[in-house]
Amino acid sequence: MIFTKSPTIFESNKERNLYYKIFGGYLCNEFIEGYDERIKGLISILSNPTSPLNKKLPVVSVDLDPNDIHISFDNHSIRFGQITTDHGEFADILIQSPSRKNLVAIEAKLHSDWNYDDDIKKNINRHIELKKLGLKVSFYLLIRKESFNNALGNPNSRLRNLPKDALDTMFIFWEDILDMLMGTTYEKDKKVHTFLSSQIYREYHNYVSDDNGWLIESK
């Protein structure tokens, strides 16, 4: 099972583990009931991002076709033969409608910190190369709302000291996905909501093995 939460089940604390499960295992999984509603909800989140200055940006025109959605993870520019320089990762999560030549590139963080050089600047530079190929690229940083608010209150934070070229970075939040899942009537959404909430708000402890070999999170 993917969305089980228990102190006796080992769960990775890596962002990759979470976004594989949430985006690939559920939100963009066309085999699970409610797919159309989830895609519409996801497009709504992408259409209403927040700026680094905590201002709601004008509604973004997300050029995705709900009937032509493809998702891919850990995406690197080396797959584009015409790009001969920087072959690094340009999106943790890539959502696209191939018929519209549009790429939605998402850099995802959960409990680890993000930084301008690795998570914004390098991505923007790689997206410039993609745009030269005739592709449209929309870039988002997916983080916890709590982290965003804490950074806003700290004058020395990375968020408060972003260079001008990063001020149009679009932020979306894991909590936005929680809200979307709560707004549906599907029982499966509620189970995924419970799991995602446990990951967003969890306190990380080490696992230990008891005398019978059972794993349990230590307190």
Q: Is the pLDDT of residue 67 over 60?
A: yes
Q: CA 92 to CA 109: how far, in whole Å?
A: 9
> What is the predicted pLDDT for the residue at 209?
67
The SS3 assignment for 44 reads helix
Q: Amino acid letter at 3?
A: F
Q: CA 38 to CA 51: how far, in whole Å?
A: 24
Encode pLDDT of 137-185 as tens digits.
899 999 999 999 988 888 888 888 888 878 788 999 999 999 999 877 7
Strand 215-217 relative to strand 102-108, pairing: unpaired
Encode pLDDT of 113-138 as tens digits.
888 888 888 888 888 888 888 888 89
> What is the predicted pLDDT for the residue at 185?
72
Q: Tell me how crowded residue 37 is: count the other CB atoms within 10 A of its CB.
A: 15
What stretch of H or E contains 38?
helix 35-47
pTM of the predicted model over 0.85: yes
Q: CA 43 to CA 3: how far, in whole Å?
A: 23
Q: Is the pLDDT of residue 219 over 60?
A: no
How would residue 85 be classed by pLDDT, with cut points 50, 70 and 90?
A: confident
H helices of 64-121, in order, are none
Q: CA 78 to CA 84: how far, in whole Å?
A: 8
Q: Is the pLDDT of residue 204 over 70?
A: no
Tokens in use for 78?
A: 């080396």
What residue spans define the domains of the chain? 27-217
Q: What is the share, in percent, of the chain residues with pLDDT greater than 70?
A: 89
Q: Which of 26-30, 50-54, 194-198 has the lowest mean pLDDT?
A: 50-54
**CB burial of residue 122 (10 Å; 0-12, 13-18, 19+):** middle
Residues ≥6 apart with Cβ < 8 Å to 179: none
What stretch of H or E contains 35?
helix 35-47
